[in-house]
Amino acid sequence: MIYLASPYSNNPDGNYLAMISVCRRLLQHSPPPLFFCPVTFYHPIGKRVPYEAIMELCLKYLIGSDQLVVVGLPDWQESRGVAIEMATWHPRPILLMDPETFRGRQIMPKAGSA
């Protein structure tokens, strides 16, 4: 399973819509990849749930995943959640994916970057 990390808190509604678009496009692939996108999953139900509780659930999905893909939405490098996800995944390689072209490049997190 692919875990799709992306920024959220700096622009919740905009990042939610951007990730819906990314997920729709992924589903058009044949066959579609198996993926989990925390932003699209938790946005509709998580507004009254503490950030820490949502993050704890997200990390359980991440730990069970085969690949971490960071979607390069604006401010992804400043995202506290993305930093936590990358540090949790460390030292395994991470794919940084352009949300428009779906082109990616491999990146490595810094140790202790959360």
Any domain includes 57: yes
Q: What values do phi and psi take at 35, rounded to 5?
A: -145, 160
* pLDDT at site 37: 98
pLDDT tens-digit profile of 40-78?
Answer: 999 988 878 999 999 999 999 999 999 999 999 999 999
CATH label of the domain that carries residue 61: 3.40.50.10400
Q: Three-state SS for 68?
A: strand
For residues 53 and 9, what is the distance between their CA atoms, to the nearest angstrom?
14
* Start-to-end C-alpha separation, the chain: 23
Q: If pLDDT is split at 50, 70 and 90, which confidence band does 98 have?
A: very high
Any domain includes 10: yes
Residues pairing with 5 in the sheet: 70
Q: If pLDDT is split at 50, 70 and 90, which confidence band does 113 have?
A: very low
* pLDDT at site 102: 92
Any domain includes 46: yes
* pLDDT at site 109: 60
Expressed as residue numbers, the domain containing 101 is 2-107
Any domain includes 112: no
Any domain includes 9: yes
Stretch 88-101: mean pLDDT: 95
Bridge-based pairing of strands 67-71 and 94-97 is parallel
Any domain includes 114: no
